[in-house]
Amino acid sequence: MPSVTLLTDIPGWVEPLERTLLDAGWLVEVVDLASLSWSPTEPPSLQGLVFNRIASNTGGGRAELLCKARDLLLTLELFQVPIINGSFCQMVGSSKTLQASVFRAAGVRTPRTIHLPSHGLTPPPGLYKPNVGGYGQGINSSVPVYSEDGCAVWQELVNSSNGLTYRAEFLDGELLYLSATEGKSFNACVGESREAVLSEDCPSSILEECRRVVSLAQLQVGSVEYLLDSQGRHWFIDINPVSSLAPQAEAFLGWDPLFKLEEFLRGKAL
């Protein structure tokens, strides 16, 4: 019987996956990062395969969880505990600065981004974002917003010509589906919108670039977001290791993406 630890900071988020795994005969342990403690000289006692579902925007007044997530994942890796979405993926997901570096290293188009010190730099007009974000929190066009890690970023403003944000959802390097959602506000979540338009296809040139990003980010499960400008060029804007599946995904695809995720995890647990 395969076993897995679902490592999270928001236990409610993993309940659908937990049910799917239990129905498939798994031994499942849900571990809340906030309540976990361990000795630095010993690997934490977590059962089986560890699936990292710690939110990329861990914070919200809980700055200590940023360091705790980093130290825990690196410790597990040092002790060779098998992990899905490991420490580097976690750091990419929780840093707008590092995401920009991944996009550039992958050779894809992304808005110019500047890491802002706490004083002494006045960038041109654009967008200010907390380095650790999520749900568009803190994004504005007037003043820097510093996140729990003490960092903020300035980013070149690229407008979507059709008002849509695209999210390519990946599993083990392969596209599950592409969703498109109208960006009515910065805090719109593509993965939770019931108005999202889904497709099983993605333009081949964009798909290949997405795969390069996913590979460099060491993203085994998660999504990449992009938008199209007035010249039809695509700009990559976000990497999300803990993206939530679109509510209508099963009805659209004719199969439950969680079943494919279970098959993937089973292969890694053997």
Best CA proximity match to 100, nearest among 170, 156, 141: 156
Domain-wise residue ranges, the chain? 3-92+254-269, 96-109+159-253
Grade residue 118 by pLDDT with cuts at 50, 70 and 90: low
Q: What is the pLDDT of residues 196-252, one digit of tens each?
A: 899 999 999 999 999 999 999 999 999 999 999 999 999 999 999 998 899 899 999
Looking at domain 3-92+254-269, its CATH architecture is 3-Layer(aba) Sandwich (3.40)
234-240 vs 164-171, strand pairing mode: unpaired
What gap in Å lies between CA 4 and CA 120, rounded to an integer? 48
pLDDT category at 188 given cuts 50, 70, 90 is low
CATH of 96-109+159-253 among 3.40.50.300, 3.30.470.20, 3.40.50.2300, 3.90.550.10: 3.30.470.20
Instruction: Examine domains 3-92+254-269 and 96-109+159-253 and report if their fold is the same.
Output: no
pTM: 0.88
Q: Are 175 and 166 in contact (CB under 8 A)?
A: no
Residue 195 has pLDDT above 90, yes or no: no
Q: How far, in whole angstroms, is CA 39 from its chain's centroid?
A: 28
Q: Which residues of 47-79 are buried (b: 16+ CB within 10 A; e: fewer)?
A: ebbbbbbbbbbbbeeeeebbebbbebbebbbee
